[in-house]
Structure 1
């Protein structure tokens, strides 16, 4: 049966297909975006093979060693304008971005090379790469291993032989030794000395407080001085242990040969890991890949955030979102309950609802400015005057920190929770309330035992939306607490354990800092993708957790709706 175009349009089918097409396009775009981020971010951790080749440019020839990072086609005219000799008749040429490392020697660790000018390409099994704590990656050949000034092994050839493997195994053992000593150093510096410094600071503040209160009792000052002397004695012992450990860790060094034949001394203590990707099988590369990803999510950053991990940023993001959720939920629910259950439904109530809806659309930077002015300078400054006068002029709460960032984001997201909770309350039938009251329950009992449990899934919906917005916000955090690098986590073993006054790192700000403030753009670019993917994963996990709680509450209180 044939129908006319007018009848088909009136049937609504075109709009169904239009909506389905729009949804399909959105899904494809989201999947495409996530795939791009995943491929470019996760691909950074794969141990790429190291190329060795001769490179000719304008009659000059040199040996280059490095990884091919990316390739692109460029117009020949552009190369000619740059002074490159290009064969006649050539319109486009491929050039490769090569990561050559050795920034401490050449001053750069990335360079562009013309693919057609590379010759005698090879992937020698002896070529090795090291990740260093400073100056980025190093590429070259292992020539010797030294303990202090004593040479304990050397090799001058370019073939993989038992003699070379013995030297390599000693090198790996030396790295493991250095990493073990570094763990001991970290334990002393970060935990033991950190705890002593924290207690010394508390003693200083306690003494200052006594002075401000004009306390003249010598017993109080004597106890402080006695404890300070004990801590100083412990500190001196730990300092001597550190001196011994640093002497041990700096014992070993290697001699490595780079592409121009120059031999470089490298302290083993500065090496994070060394590997020979050209000689690794698929299993070894997968193990290396897993180790790198684990380092990325569990370690501290290094090299201006372009190397190492981002665990402090993950921790700061999750901690801030949890605190924000704890703060925003009761305030949003109380406001919604008052507007829906108790407030007289008139002009003023409608005006308040309009104001709440408009607040949801205020730019986040405005909340950041408000948080800086009201929470940090006004509230924080007065708190310091009242409760922490001994610390002044150094601010305690009168500067950005975890608490003010969480409160600012709670203020930013509270309209979302209010609207979602009100919607949930409005969907509860009036007969349910009347039935509860008819059975003898008070209005408060009806609210707590009937209405709020039934509206709890809507409350969780508001919290989910709040988490989704707050976790990705960056602009307000730049004003109220987030920093490029936080030396310590806001949660530790020192009283009061959770330090709400401390500054913290955040994944969103980390992406901004690495992507736009890094001195080494090419090295930082893959980490931008990797961190963005991790931020999406963290937000997804937080939302999934909230959705699971909402579904549990929905099933639990389903019987009340029947």
Structure 2
């Protein structure tokens, strides 16, 4: 036994066991997040309950079972709940998603198992997904198409057709508002700023005023045409409606321009549910958020996260590589070089929120404010670059991840044999040519390793971004069809901040809980995708320059 311990085998097994446990824990956490997040999109059965509370009041409830838990009977009795018959040590209670927000004060309601008289899953119950006020549950009774009431056997078919029509018209109106009408508004604002700039330079002549006025009048004419088309589309989309009987027995009229989809979950087969699940996941990835981020998709947050990380990578890589090359290849050993290395090490240990405060004070207020004073005085006092934006977020995270790139690149440079450098110099190459053509390409796998670590950290940071550019809801993306096409001064959405906002700032916590898991899994997937891309590039470079190492 003593020889076995002295051989070091126990430590090898302990290390292997610790690595295995860590891997299992990480995979288990990812599976938990994936299960809790992706199961949200699975169509849940809609139940109808007949209830009788402790006071003998009967009622009907329609909704989905969201959660369940066992509560000690003693605790319920101490809270004043009375039971007709003693239920035992614990009582099961269900969290029911009732929807119908404009009819019921809360989307969710706890129901005791002892209050349930009966429970059924009628096939005629429909779930209406709406653009506002959440879901609506009830029995469709009639569809009003252009003032005519449609009932009977073809009710469901007509309902789905009219919903598709309304969604298509609403999508056209939304697209018109964002693209063509948005472009005219942008051009009007640019025209105003151009006139203001000439006025500040004392160059606004009468001829220029007349030219600006003519352009403005033409844009206003185009705007009126598009506005008329927009309101026509809105009027057509809101033409039809559906009559639905809710759980109270009242018949409610729902305008179809607020309905996105209708599903009869209780009559769906397993294949239908699988197809609906894929559609739900696709909408979550591709749509814009709504209802204070508790409904809809997260596409702007995905785009903002990837765009900001790529912009950060473009900024941090050259600066980190140049700094590493200077420290390793040119700087002499001395107190100044030693201080620089200590500073780099200390930068890696600074809390991220400190970088956010620095970015707000230096980049946003100082650099951005100076840019506004020099190049955009016509926009003042409204700031252009002097307010948080995607460029300042990328620069802040570039400084945050700079030590990682420097250290990784230096390690790659130190592994290159000195004989390679000497051979290049002996053949007549200059030091700069040796670095550019031999040393840096051989160190490129190490550079990519540093970039991978930088991307992994930057994509998950939230605290500094809250100060330098990220917002709860960004109406426009940083990229559009308006010149200069890439707008680095705009604010953006981020998956990390979206998780924080939905999980802790949402007005409807219960509805937002599954979205926290879904967005978390999506953020992990985005980080993994970015890392796998960088790893594939690194492996390609490693194979390409492997022969030089030998």
**Offset at residue 241 of structure 1 (A):** 1.2
Can you list the C-alpha shifts for 1:144-199, whole angstroms capped at 9, x where unaligned? 21135x34223xxxxxxxx34x1111111110110111122012101010000010
RMSD: 1.1
With 427-436 and 459-468 compared, the bigger mean Cα shift is at: 427-436
From 372, 393, 398, the equivalent of 1:405 is 393
From 23, 29, 33, the equivalent of 1:37 is 33
Q: Which residue of structure 2 aligns with residue 551 of structure 1?
A: 539
Residue aligned with 2:103, SS: helix
Contact 1:144 1:151 (C-alpha < 8 Å) held by counterparts: no
Contact 2:87 2:114 (C-alpha < 8 Å) held by counterparts: no
Q: Which residue of structure 1 aligns with residue 290 of structure 2?
A: 302
Q: Which residue of structure 2 aligns with residue 96 of structure 1?
A: 94
1:274 maps to 2:270: no
**Offset at residue 400 of structure 1 (A):** 0.1
Q: Which residue of structure 1 aligns with residue 61 of structure 2?
A: 64
1:427 maps to 2:415: yes
Q: Which residue of structure 2 aligns with residue 146 of structure 1?
A: 144
Q: Which residue of structure 2 aligns with residue 125 of structure 1?
A: 123
**Offset at residue 82 of structure 1 (A):** 2.8
1:18 maps to 2:14: yes
Can you list the C-alpha shifts for 1:307-343, whole angstroms capped at 9, x where unaligned? 1100000000000000000000000000000000000
**Offset at residue 216 of structure 1 (A):** 4.1
What is the rounded CA distance, in whole Å, between the counterparts of 1:265 and 1:297 in structure 2?
Answer: 31
Q: Which residue of structure 2 aligns with residue 158 of structure 1?
A: none
From 364, 370, 376, the equivalent of 2:352 is 364
Q: Which residue of structure 1 aligns with residue 107 of structure 2?
A: 109
What is the rounded CA distance, in whole Å, between the counterparts of 2:234 and 2:139 in structure 1?
Answer: 27
Contact 2:389 2:491 (C-alpha < 8 Å) held by counterparts: yes
What is the rounded CA distance, in whole Å, between the counterparts of 2:106 and 2:515 in structure 1?
Answer: 19
Distance 1:143 1:82, change over 3 A: farther
Contact 2:195 2:204 (C-alpha < 8 Å) held by counterparts: no
Q: Which residue of structure 2 aligns with residue 444 of structure 1?
A: 432
Q: Which residue of structure 2 aligns with residue 283 of structure 1?
A: 271
Can you list the C-alpha shifts for 1:59-87, whole angstroms capped at 9, x where unaligned? 22211111111111111122113322234
**Offset at residue 16 of structure 1 (A):** 1.2
Residue aligned with 1:48, SS: coil
Pairing of 1:161-560 with structure 2 (within 5 A): 163-164=152-153, 166-560=154-548
Residue aligned with 1:256, SS: strand
Contact 2:48 2:119 (C-alpha < 8 Å) held by counterparts: yes
Residue aligned with 1:105, SS: coil
Contact 2:416 2:442 (C-alpha < 8 Å) held by counterparts: yes
From 73, 76, 79, the equivalent of 2:76 is 79
**Offset at residue 103 of structure 1 (A):** 1.2
Residue aligned with 1:62, SS: strand
What is the rounded CA distance, in whole Å, between the counterparts of 1:274 and 1:45 in structure 2?
Answer: 14
Contact 1:424 1:458 (C-alpha < 8 Å) held by counterparts: yes
What is the rounded CA distance, in whole Å, between the counterparts of 1:304 and 1:114 in structure 2?
Answer: 30
Can you list the C-alpha shifts for 1:124-147, whole angstroms capped at 9, x where unaligned? 110000111111111110112113
What is the rounded CA distance, in whole Å, between the counterparts of 2:209 and 2:329 in structure 1?
Answer: 58
Can you list the C-alpha shifts for 1:455-481, whole angstroms capped at 9, x where unaligned? 000000000000000000000000000
What is the rounded CA distance, in whole Å, between the counterparts of 2:248 and 2:79 in structure 1?
Answer: 25
**Offset at residue 89 of structure 1 (A):** 6.6
What is the rounded CA distance, in whole Å, between the counterparts of 2:87 and 2:453 in structure 1?
Answer: 59
What is the rounded CA distance, in whole Å, between the counterparts of 1:472 and 1:431 in structure 2?
Answer: 41
What is the rounded CA distance, in whole Å, between the counterparts of 2:195 and 2:387 in structure 1?
Answer: 23
What is the rounded CA distance, in whole Å, between the counterparts of 2:204 and 2:182 in structure 1?
Answer: 31
Contact 2:68 2:95 (C-alpha < 8 Å) held by counterparts: yes
**Offset at residue 116 of structure 1 (A):** 4.0
What is the rounded CA distance, in whole Å, between the counterparts of 1:112 and 1:266 in structure 2?
Answer: 27
What is the rounded CA distance, in whole Å, between the counterparts of 1:386 and 1:194 in structure 2?
Answer: 27
Q: Which residue of structure 2 aligns with residue 160 of structure 1?
A: none
Can you list the C-alpha shifts for 1:423-479, whole angstroms capped at 9, x where unaligned? 000111111111111111111111111111110000000000000000000000000
Distance 1:77 1:151, change over 3 A: farther
Contact 1:377 1:398 (C-alpha < 8 Å) held by counterparts: yes
Contact 1:57 1:84 (C-alpha < 8 Å) held by counterparts: no
What is the rounded CA distance, in whole Å, between the counterparts of 1:417 and 1:504 in structure 2?
Answer: 25
**Offset at residue 117 of structure 1 (A):** 3.1
What is the rounded CA distance, in whole Å, between the counterparts of 1:273 and 1:47 in structure 2?
Answer: 13
**Offset at residue 44 of structure 1 (A):** 0.6
With 170-179 and 139-148 compared, the bigger mean Cα shift is at: 139-148
Normalising by structure 1, what TM-score? 0.96
Q: Which runs of 5+ in 1 are unaligned?
A: 155-162
Residue aligned with 1:121, SS: strand
With 535-544 and 186-195 compared, the bigger mean Cα shift is at: 186-195
Residue aligned with 1:152, SS: strand
Number of residue pairs matched by the alignment: 548
What is the rounded CA distance, in whole Å, between the counterparts of 2:346 and 2:51 in structure 1?
Answer: 62
